[in-house]
Amino acid sequence: MAVFKNLYSKRNKKPVDVFTYDKIPEGLKIQIFYIWQNFFNQLSKDISFITWGKIDRILCEEHKRDYLALSGNLILTNEEGVRWYFRRNEDIEEGLDVIIVVLAYIEQEYKVSIKTPKKLEYTFEDVIQDINTRFLEHGVGYEFRDGTIIRMDNTLLHQEIIIPSLHFLSPPEFQNANNEYLSAHEHFRNGHTKDCLNNCLKALESTLKIICDLNSWTYNPKDTANNLIKVVIDNKLIPDFLLQHFSSIRSSLESGVPTFRNRLSGHGQGPQKIEVPMHYASYMLYLTGTTINFLVSCQQELKP
């Protein structure tokens, strides 16, 4: 069962900080329970029971516990014990351990099903996609990839582009551009890829207009990104030696963010619905970020 994205509450959620790393929110844990349930409901009760028993044993052994659940007089199944432990455990690393172990057994059971006539419909890939989508929605900066969970700020692109972009846009004069870039990131987290592209272009255009205002360069408030790029280049925002070294810098800027957005989300889609894949939106975020980084760095060099 895929994550349902087109909800009013998601589309109108206020932007928050880019990612957090110290807590798995209660709501996220509940949604992860549903993902596990969607997968294990496809298995027979016997296989499910045995699998949860293995998960319980591994977590007890690795986390040095006699048992996971402190249930009083209640008798819990292994599945209920794992859920109890995951939901009440405030240690972020141990919580991520639980997710990794459960996903390892989901992958194992799915691979077994591939070899049988009754291949499971809710696949391991579906589970991973839904888990990562939920991480994004909650702004929790982790991603399951290649059999483990990594921090988003441990990825080169996030460290070198997203975070510096927000740093460059933090001064008060860049507040509008910062809000639009954060909004693009928020839409990406919630799977609203078209809105992500639209806000990427807004952030770029706002950055260009702010730079023009800071330097008293004339432009039409209705100018598009391409026109604004021409204004800043004509006014020597980009030093001549950089233009000579990067002979295609102008065409790269003009054909990058604006064209990408316009073709995928900026105009009417006609009779055929246009879907913007997540990897396109991700690329757009990074392309916008690196373009903004470059332009603001050039602006800083203009200061006496």
- Please give the structure tokens belonging to residue 175: 């507040």
User: Is 216 part of a structural domain of the chain?
Assistant: yes
Q: Please, are residues 289 and 165 in contact by the beta-carbon 8 Å criterion?
A: yes
pLDDT at 210 over 80: yes
Q: Please, are residues 265 and 198 in contact by the beta-carbon 8 Å criterion?
A: yes
Taking residues 289-294, what's their average pLDDT? 84
pLDDT at position 62: 94
φ, ψ for residue 150 (rounded to 5)?
-120, 155
d(CA 53, CA 138): 30
Q: Are 20 and 144 contained in the same domain? A: yes
User: Is 178 part of a structural domain of the chain?
Assistant: yes
Taking residues 73-79, what's their average pLDDT? 80
Domain that holds residue 53: 8-153
User: Is 195 part of a structural domain of the chain?
Assistant: yes
pLDDT at position 89: 93
What does the mean pLDDT of the chain come to?
A: 81
User: Is 106 part of a structural domain of the chain?
Assistant: yes
Domain count of the fold of the chain: 2
pLDDT digits (tens, 9 = 90+) for 145-200: 778 887 776 565 666 667 677 777 878 888 888 888 888 887 777 777 788 888 88
pLDDT at position 98: 96
User: Is 98 part of a structural domain of the chain?
Assistant: yes
User: Is 227 part of a structural domain of the chain?
Assistant: yes
> Which pLDDT band holds residue 82 (cuts at 50, 70, 90)?
very high
Taking residues 110-136, what's their average pLDDT? 90
pLDDT at 252 over 90: no
Decide: pTM greater than 0.85: no
- The dihedral region occupied by 70, where left means phi > 0, alpha psi between -120 and 50, and beta the remainder, is beta
Alpha carbon of 215 to those of 187, 202, 209: distances in Å? 32, 20, 10
pLDDT at position 134: 92
Q: Are 121 and 213 contained in the same domain? A: no
pLDDT at 93 over 60: yes
How many Cβ atoms from other residues are within 10 Å of residue 198's Cβ?
20
Q: Are 118 and 184 contained in the same domain? A: no
CATH (domain of 295): 1.20.120
Domain end among 103, 138, 153: 153
User: Is 2 part of a structural domain of the chain?
Assistant: no
Q: Are 181 and 196 contained in the same domain? A: yes
Q: Are 16 and 124 contained in the same domain? A: yes
pLDDT at position 159: 63
Q: Are 73 and 168 contained in the same domain? A: no
> Which pLDDT band holds residue 274 (cuts at 50, 70, 90)?
low
pLDDT at position 259: 62
User: Is 1 part of a structural domain of the chain?
Assistant: no
Q: Are 73 and 198 contained in the same domain? A: no
Q: Are 217 and 290 contained in the same domain? A: yes
Domain end among 153, 182, 204: 153
Taking residues 66-85, what's their average pLDDT? 82
pLDDT at 137 over 80: yes
d(CA 205, CA 253): 12
Residue 209 CB burial class (10 angstroms; 0-12, 13-18, ≥19): buried
pLDDT at position 246: 45
pLDDT digits (tens, 9 = 90+) for 6-45: 565 555 555 444 678 889 999 999 999 999 999 999 999 9
Domain end among 118, 153, 188: 153
pLDDT at 262 over 80: no
- The dihedral region occupied by 243, where left means phi > 0, alpha psi between -120 and 50, and beta the remainder, is alpha
Q: Are 178 and 258 contained in the same domain? A: yes
Q: Are 85 and 67 contained in the same domain? A: yes
pLDDT at 248 over 90: no
3-state helix, strand, coil in the chain (%, to 5): 65, 5, 30
Q: Are 165 and 227 contained in the same domain? A: yes
Q: Are 48 and 28 contained in the same domain? A: yes
